[in-house]
């Protein structure tokens, strides 16, 4: 068990290092040696988990959608809003996520890595949520969840990119607020709109909530047996 935990931690270290290097240098200029140096693991450990640069890139891309994790909400439209803000907020500090986004966006990423994969994963996860929203009567009857989701993923991609090019992502929260102000009236039933929170600082508040929930969990786990 201890060995398995160590393997998981090593894999994580490598992934985070690879994300940071891909984010800074892009796919073509990244070398395994650069990742090794950053991760401070042995060559053997790296090749055990990732036999090639392509497999590293694929793994970094596959992590991307996990950064959309937020607390579940009764209102599924709010949960989708929260996902976009959580990703936006995490983009500002998390190099693994940033590396995945760069790999998905940069044209130089080779076709063997499949840049389209994270787009499809985001679309799949958001479509499930939007279909739940439809079942709960949150959506206008004109909404086709598949189309709206593709628009959302595409728009988010471009908005974060423009924010990165112009302000190093400092204004991403403001840009997301503008996105939602424009999209929500075409998506959600009017009665839902006043109760939705899509303010520019939503991301910071959602992540604070996630952090507090995690700390509470750790506190419970660290209690002596029998105490509850």
**Contact residues for a second copy (CB under 8 A)?**
23, 26, 28-29, 102, 104-108, 115-116, 119-120, 147-148, 150-151, 153-166, 175, 178-179, 181-183, 185-187
Q: Across the chain, which distance is largest between two alpha carbons, in Å?
A: 58
Of 166 and 170, CB closest to a second copy: 166
- Residues 121 and 150: beta-carbon distance below 8 Å: no
Q: Which residues pair with 188 in a beta bridge?
A: 139
For residue 142, the minimal CB distance to a second copy (Å) is: 9
Of 56 and 149, CB closest to a second copy: 149
CA distance linking residue 140 with residue 183, whole number of Å: 12
For residue 25, the minimal CB distance to a second copy (Å) is: 8
CA distance linking residue 35 with residue 22, whole number of Å: 9
For residue 154, the minimal CB distance to a second copy (Å) is: 4
Of 182 and 211, CB closest to a second copy: 182
For residue 76, the minimal CB distance to a second copy (Å) is: 18
Residue with tokens 């439209």: 77
DSSP state of 188: B
């Amino acid at each position: 068990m201890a060995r398995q935990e160590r393997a998981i931690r090593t894999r994580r270290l490598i992934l985070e290092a690879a994300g940071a290097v891909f984010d800074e240098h892009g796919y073509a200029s990244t070398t395994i040696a650069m990742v090794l140096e950053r991760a401070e693991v042995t060559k053997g450990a790296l090749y055990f988990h990732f036999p090639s640069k392509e497999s590293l890139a694929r793994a970094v891309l596959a992590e991307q959608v996990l950064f959309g994790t937020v607390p579940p909400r009764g209102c599924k439209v709010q949960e989708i809003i929260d996902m976009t803000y959580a990703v936006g907020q995490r983009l500002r500090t998390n190099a693994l996520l940033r590396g995945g986004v760069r790999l998905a966006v940069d044209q130089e990423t080779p076709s063997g890595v499949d840049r389209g994969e994270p787009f499809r994963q985001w679309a799949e996860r958001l479509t499930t949520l939007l279909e739940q929203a439809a079942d709960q009567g949150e959506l206008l009857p004109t909404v086709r969840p598949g189309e709206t989701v593709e628009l959302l993923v595409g728009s988010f991609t471009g908005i974060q990119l423009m924010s990165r090019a112009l302000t190093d992502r400092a204004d991403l929260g403001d840009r997301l607020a503008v996105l939602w102000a424009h999209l929500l009236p075409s998506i959600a039933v009017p009665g839902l709109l006043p109760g939705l929170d899509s303010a520019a600082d939503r991301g910071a508040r959602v992540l604070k909530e996630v952090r507090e929930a995690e700390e509470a969990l750790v506190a419970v786990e660290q209690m002596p047996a029998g105490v509850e």
